[in-house]
């Protein structure tokens, strides 16, 4: 992985954060935590965690950045699940 690919992955992660922030402001009107898991953010985080360990890791960075960029109080559980999936898959593939 060269420097160009790494920079592109970082830029896509930041774009994913912005998309998640826009999504959460449109979907949730209250500035506090609701006690439910967002299914779209969870699916994107899991898919991003899977894709980070593949040749499509740049798309995985975009998708896993989505729940991290959501409003404060939203997306933290979804991001944690996506990160755990990515770490477990990494360990399984590298073992």
Per-residue pLDDT of 26-80, as tens digits, reads 988 877 776 788 899 999 999 999 999 999 999 999 999 999 888 887 888 899 9
Q: pLDDT at position 41, please?
A: 92
Residues with Cβ within 8 Å of residue 45, at least 6 apart in sequence: 63, 64, 66, 67, 78, 79, 81, 82, 83, 85
- Give the pTM: 0.86
Scan for tokens 């699940």, then name that residue. 81
Asked whether 55 and 5 are in contact (CB, 8 A), the reply is no
């Amino acid at each position: 992985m060269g420097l160009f690919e790494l920079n592109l992955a970082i830029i896509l992660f930041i774009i994913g954060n912005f998309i998640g922030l826009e999504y959460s402001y449109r979907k949730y009107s209250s500035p506090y935590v609701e006690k439910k898991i967002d299914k779209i953010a969870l699916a994107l985080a899991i898919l991003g965690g899977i894709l980070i360990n593949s040749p499509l890791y740049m798309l995985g960075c975009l998708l896993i950045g989505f729940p991290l960029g959501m409003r404060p109080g939203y997306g933290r559980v979804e991001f944690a699940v996506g990160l755990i999936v990515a770490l477990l898959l990494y360990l399984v593939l590298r073992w």
